[in-house]
């Protein structure tokens, strides 16, 4: 790890936000671990406070991110594949409303404006996030099916360029990583909506896992420049 790469990683908003997310979900997991271990309330509260403050800081990082998702939704309408076009647009719409609720949650958390129905707003946010993740999962599965067809065709064609095979393997690897990230991430809104009773420890581990995947992806992008 070079210092230059580390500095460039932290210089990006995405890098700082994902690093904070990793710490936030570690704090969430560790607070649960301390609780189950019978640790003093003061120790547990310290980590819960860290989790809450980092969560609010991340919301500031992501203010007005709805504009990005709205723009991407419009661009996604030009995708040729009908399934990918539909799921991509719906994913962006889901994330647009999710980040909208996040802004309202932030206003409530910092007491800029107190909402009487904040729990309903939080539940709506979880629903929008879970919907967006579901659309992303469908997209990845559909693309993987297409790649399997292309792979079968390449295997039959002995004269197929080696570069095509390498590109296909790289694309498959990326889709598998995205699918894993989406499935694990889905644990968080599923728990928030109480669809399945995942405890705070599992939610913390899920968030740590997907945060690490996001951190490594951003690090690779920065290192390759």
Q: Transcribe 122-141 into DSSP letters.
A: HHHHHHHHHHHHHHHHHHHH
- Indicate the pTM of the whole model: 0.92
Residue ranges, the chain, pLDDT below 50 = none
Number of C-beta neighbours around residue 105 at 10 A: 18
Given this model, what pLDDT does residue 53 score? 96
Taking only the tens place, the pLDDT of each residue in 152-187 is 888 787 666 778 778 888 999 999 999 999 999 999
Q: What is the dihedral of CA 209, 210, 213, 219, to 10 degrees?
A: -110
C-alpha 41/C-alpha 49 separation (Å) is: 12
Helix%, strand%, coil% for the chain, nearest 5: 85, 0, 15
Given this model, what pLDDT does residue 166 score? 85
Q: Minimal CA–CA distance to 44: which of 55, 56, 33, 58?
A: 33
C-alpha 64/C-alpha 201 separation (Å) is: 31
Q: Are 139 and 84 in contact (CB under 8 A)?
A: yes
Given this model, what pLDDT does residue 1 score? 59
At residue 55, φ and ψ (nearest 5 deg) are -60, -45
């Amino acid at each position: 790890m070079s210092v230059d790469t580390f500095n460039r990683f932290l210089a990006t908003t995405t890098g700082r936000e994902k690093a904070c997310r990793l710490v936030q979900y570690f704090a969430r997991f560790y607070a649960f671990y301390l609780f189950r271990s019978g640790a003093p309330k003061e120790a547990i509260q310290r980590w819960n406070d860290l989790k809450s403050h980092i969560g609010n800081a991340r919301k500031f990082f992501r203010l007005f991110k709805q504009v990005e998702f709205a723009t991407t939704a419009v661009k996604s309408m030009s995708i040729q594949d009908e399934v990918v076009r539909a799921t991509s647009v719906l994913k962006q719409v889901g994330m647009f409303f999710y980040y909208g609720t996040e802004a309202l949650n932030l206003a409530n958390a910092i007491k800029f404006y107190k909402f009487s129905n904040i729990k309903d707003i939080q539940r709506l946010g979880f629903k929008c996030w879970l919907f967006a993740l579901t659309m992303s999962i469908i997209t990845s599965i559909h693309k993987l099916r297409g790649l399997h067809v292309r792979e079968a065709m390449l295997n039959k064609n002995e004269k197929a360029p080696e570069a095509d095979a390498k590109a296909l393997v790289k694309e498959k690897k990326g889709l598998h990583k995205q699918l894993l990230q989406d499935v694990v991430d889905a644990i968080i809104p599923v728990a928030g909506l109480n669809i399945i009773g995942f405890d705070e420890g599992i939610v913390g581990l899920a968030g740590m896992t997907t945060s690490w995947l996001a951190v490594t992806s951003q690090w690779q992008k920065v290192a390759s420049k």
